[in-house]
């Protein structure tokens, strides 16, 4: 294959945390959308499967292929931003941080974002990557248009005038084709105030309704042991952290509100407040339960984690996400309380993660496609009311299943 890849022939691809690796049959790094189309056409002619590697931050085997692996990092940059319509168009390989300055210069910003900003926008959209806030959707929920190279090798743009196709494309884990550009709904530039504090578990539960209703958004980490905070770089500034919650509350700040250096408080442009600093030493599972069942699920998780120590030493992260209509979205038709836990690399954390899965299944939990999970086809169809519609569109656009791999074929064939 032409379009020289950053992955030399015969070498192994490994994801960022190091729990997935494989050797693709071919690898290429196209520099233009037309080149992507040409590569897909040639792969189809040779009967090869095609998958894309973005920033490699997923924990699940959703990139793996023995066919053609594409690297779209050269297709990067915000192409246009329209302050009147609050829209931005970007190439698929644009990292999330690549939106910051181009949008801010137009008086715009991303509506919401997650804990890190190194993912490529197409990778983040493919798995419904989210931040927090019950009134804000994931990045998939703000996708208003997408250009895909489909299995026929054509560049096809799906926009709001094809709502069913768009609802399928918003969260597709790469199964409908190769995204080359995306159009996002964005918002007016805003500043954020972050207030961090340590609360007791009971205080969080008592103030849950206030946290949900009265702030722009919040997130928290419950720390099962004294050593847990350090695993996610959370600093208690000398205070005891075991069985406490590291609560982060966010509200919009006035344009002239200063950052006065108060401990635990930061005020800045939104995009300077969102990202956390992570080390790459955790393997994460993240499940989505109906928002109103969040406190009940948290209480059950605390009991399970205390009984599962030391396997469960990583913090329990809690966020919220707003509802959307995307067929495979974990937030389809319902706002979520999002619960994530991690296993320690190098230990057999599977019995613990299976116990988490068994517990949260009782709360009708849906999964994050990029994080460890135990979903079966039966559970997929019970939990995602439009899964069959997604599969029908997938089969229509890709009858030979060239964009499936073993992991995805087991669920979406």
Which residues are near ligand FAD by CB under 6 A? 16-17, 51-58, 62-63, 72, 92, 114-116, 119-120, 122-124, 126-127, 129-130, 173-174, 178-179, 278, 368, 370
CA 91 to chain centre: 18
Burial class (CB in 10 A: 0-12, 13-18, 19+), 213: exposed
Helix (H/G/I), strand (E/B), else coil: 8: coil
Cα(119)–Cα(335) distance, integer angstroms:
24
Integer distance in angstroms from the first to the last C-alpha of the chain? Answer: 27
CB closer to ligand FAD out of 30 and 224: 30
Instruction: Give me the count of residues in the chain.
Output: 413
266 forms bridges with which residues in the sheet?
Answer: 194
- Minimal distance, residue 35 CB to ligand FAD, in Å: 13
CB closer to ligand FAD out of 208 and 288: 288
89 forms bridges with which residues in the sheet?
Answer: 80, 183
Are the C-beta atoms of residues 347 and 311 closer than 8 Å to each other? yes
- Minimal distance, residue 382 CB to ligand FAD, in Å: 23
Pure H helices in 321-376: 350-361
E strands, 93-190, are 108-109, 143-149, 155-158, 178-185, 187-188
Nearest CA to 186 among 149, 229, 134, 143? 143
CB closer to ligand FAD out of 62 and 304: 62
Cα(25)–Cα(22) distance, integer angstroms:
10
- Minimal distance, residue 401 CB to ligand FAD, in Å: 15
CB closer to ligand FAD out of 106 and 138: 138
Residue 112 CA: distances (Å) to CA of 136, 147, 171, 172, 238: 7, 22, 17, 20, 31
Cα(176)–Cα(152) distance, integer angstroms:
11
Are the C-beta atoms of residues 275 and 114 closer than 8 Å to each other? no
CB closer to ligand FAD out of 43 and 52: 52
CB closer to ligand FAD out of 368 and 373: 368
Rounded to the nearest 10 degrees, the angle between the axes of helix 350-361 and helix 294-308 is: 150
What pairing do the DSSP bridges indicate for beta strands 68-71 and 50-53?
Answer: parallel
- Minimal distance, residue 65 CB to ligand FAD, in Å: 9
CB closer to ligand FAD out of 125 and 304: 125
CB closer to ligand FAD out of 127 and 170: 127
319: left (phi over 0), alpha (psi -120 to 50) or beta: beta
Return the residue matching tokens 């979520």: 336
- Minimal distance, residue 216 CB to ligand FAD, in Å: 16
CB closer to ligand FAD out of 119 and 320: 119
Q: What is the DSSP letter of 210?
A: H
Cα(297)–Cα(15) distance, integer angstroms:
30
């Amino acid at each position: 294959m032409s379009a020289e890849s950053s992955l030399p022939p015969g070498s192994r691809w490994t994801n960022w945390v190091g729990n997935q690796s494989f050797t693709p049959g071919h690898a290429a790094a196209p520099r233009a959308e037309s080149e992507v189309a040409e590569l897909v056409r040639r792969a189809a002619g040779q009967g090869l499967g095609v998958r894309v590697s973005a920033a490699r931050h997923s924990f699940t085997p959703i990139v793996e292929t023995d066919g053609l692996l594409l690297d779209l990092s050269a297709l990067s940059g915000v192409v246009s931003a329209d302050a009147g319509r609050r829209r931005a168009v970007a190439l698929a390989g644009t990292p999330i941080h690549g939106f910051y300055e181009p949008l801010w210069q137009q008086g715009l910003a991303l509506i919401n974002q997650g804990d890190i900003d190194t993912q490529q926008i197409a990778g983040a959209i493919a798995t419904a990557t989210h931040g927090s806030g019950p009134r804000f959707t994931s990045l998939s929920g703000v996708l208003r248009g997408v250009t895909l190279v489909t299995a026929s090798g054509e560049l096809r743009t799906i926009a709001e005038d094809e709502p069913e196709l768009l609802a399928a494309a918003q969260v597709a884990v790469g199964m409908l084709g190769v995204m080359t550009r995306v159009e996002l709904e964005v918002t007016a530039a805003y500043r954020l105030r972050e207030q961090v504090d340590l609360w007791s578990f009971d205080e969080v539960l008592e103030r849950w309704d206030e946290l949900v209703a009265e702030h722009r958004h919040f997130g928290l980490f419950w720390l099962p042991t004294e050593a847990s905070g350090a695993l996610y770089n959370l600093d208690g500034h000398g205070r005891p952290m075991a069985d406490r919650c590291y609560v982060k509350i966010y509200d919009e700040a006035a344009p002239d509100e200063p950052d006065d250096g108060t401990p635990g408080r930061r005020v800045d442009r939104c995009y300077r407040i969102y990202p956390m600093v992570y080390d790459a030493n955790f393997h994460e599972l993240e499940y989505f339960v109906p928002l109103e069942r969040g406190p009940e699920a948290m209480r059950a998780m605390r009991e399970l984690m205390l009984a599962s120590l030391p396997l469960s030493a990583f913090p329990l992260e809690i966020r919220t996400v707003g509802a959307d209509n995307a067929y495979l979205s974990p937030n389809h038709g319902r706002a979520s309380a999002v619960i994530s836990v991690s296993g320690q690399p190098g230990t057999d954390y599977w019995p613990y993660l299976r116990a988490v899965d068994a517990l949260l299944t009782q709360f009708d939990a849906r999964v994050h496609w990029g994080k460890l999970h135990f979903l079966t086809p039966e559970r997929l169809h019970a939990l995602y009311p439009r899964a069959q519609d997604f599969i029908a569109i997938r089969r229509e656009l890709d009858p030979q299943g060239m964009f499936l791999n073993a992991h995805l074929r087991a669920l979406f064939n």
